[in-house]
Amino acid sequence: MKVLVVGGGGREHALVWKIAQSPKVTKVLAAPGNAGIAEEPKAQCVDISATDIEALRDFALQEKIDLTVVGPEEPLVKGIVDVFQDAGLTIFGPTKAAALLEGSKAFAKQFMKEMGIPTAEFEVFDDPEKAKDYIRSKGAPIVVKADGLAAGKGSIVCKTLDEALTAVDRIMVEKAFGDAGNKVVVEEFLKGEEASFIVITDGENIVPLASSQDHKPVFDNDEGPNTGGMGAYSPAPVVTEEVFNRAMNEIVIPTIKGMKEKGIPFKGVLYVGLMIIEDKYPKVLEFNVRFGDPEAQPILMRMKTDLVDALMASIEGGLDKCNIEYSDEAAVCVVMASGGYPGKYEKGKVIYGLEEVAKMEKVKVFHAGTKKVNGNFVTNGGRVLGVTALGENIKKAIDRAYEAVSKIHWDKVHYRKDIGAKALRRLGLL
């Protein structure tokens, strides 16, 4: 099989790495890919943007691609699956209509309300003044979200009334996230612990992936603005058997069933961002329609099963016969970012130490924002590397990941030093 992976971040590097391990796969092409992907066996990067859907379709036809896997949300929301299917190509992911679960927070919230799926109380506004009046009537803390795609940065948790009113102006008036801010969702602040609950579905059958937990804020102790994700680990002890069962029965199954009832069958990856209240009641913070980034990195490191089998079963049906197995080991991914991210940052910094880390066992460095210049890997994005390690327990995986991180450096590098600390606290190890 020839497989095309669309995207060029850390998640896509993890997908290429995992897909290339399949004995069924002879070649993996990544569009546009990155400098780390280019180094993988069986892999080759192609200079086509992840959002140039027509060019990607033409390339897939020309190269006789057997399977296309879409990493990022933007091409899915723009309808890449519909375009590929119309051309007779096999592609993994939801249609444009189904991808609205991520493409519009207003659509997702209204869908959840209709289906009785547990989520925060909310209102949707297209007028900033009405949004502000509602915020004043509710008080703080409160959450203000851009309706459309904002690369994981469009959800603003506001501790004070002033912060919330400023957030409305930033999203709707200053257009910090462009047209994504034409509408806002204002919702109640939920107190609890977050987890990522990710499943693969064929529109009817559902296979849950290993549990994981992301770390969105840029600084330790969940301080500072939200990012695309500063690290993740799997499994997540907060997802107990009780939480797992509730998440499946009260959220995931009704979502897949509800989409089918609406005539919008959902196939592909459904990622549910959960807030777990009082350690037992999961509520939906957000839906995503693709693998998480960085959650894909630790999940795929632990996955023992051939991923291609599950992807094909999602497309062709028969996912009920698919069983995904994982290593008993824990995995931790620490994101190394450019100083200044998620705000302004400089590119082109030479990255040192990758050769030394390559010699470590049970460690894989997934590239996100890198390119190669004169034989050197240099920074080329906000999130640069996802240093991912396995360990026989979460503590050993954390120690190994940070040992690897300590060997890598560049000018103004930034990373959180507490990835996995919540798991240690929950297990009584901190």
Average pLDDT over residues 133-150: 94
Contact 289, 271 (CB under 8 A): yes
- Write the CB contacts of 374 (distance below 8 Å, at least 6 apart in sequence): none
Q: Where are the domains of the chain?
A: 2-92, 121-188, 193-321, 330-426
- pLDDT, one tens digit per residue, over 323-346 is 999 999 999 999 999 999 999 999
For residue 430, pLDDT over 80 is answered with no
| Class of domain 2-92 (CATH, top level) | alpha beta
Beta strand 43-45 pairing with 27-32: parallel
- Note the pTM of the prediction, 2 decimals: 0.95
Q: Is 50 exposed, middle or buried (0-12, 13-18, 19+ CB in 10 A)?
A: buried
pLDDT, position 316: 92
- pLDDT, one tens digit per residue, over 86-124 is 999 999 999 999 999 999 999 999 999 999 999 999 999
Average pLDDT over residues 139-162: 91
* Phi, psi of 248, rounded to the nearest 5 degrees: -65, -50
- The CATH number that domain 193-321 falls under is 3.30.470.20
Alpha-carbon distance 151 to 359, whole Å?
33
- CATH of 330-426 among 3.40.720.10, 3.30.360.10, 3.40.50.720, 3.90.600.10: 3.90.600.10
What's domain 121-188's superfamily in CATH? ATP-grasp fold, A domain (3.30.1490.20)
Tell me if domain 121-188 and domain 330-426 are identical in fold.
Answer: no
For residue 290, pLDDT over 90 is answered with yes
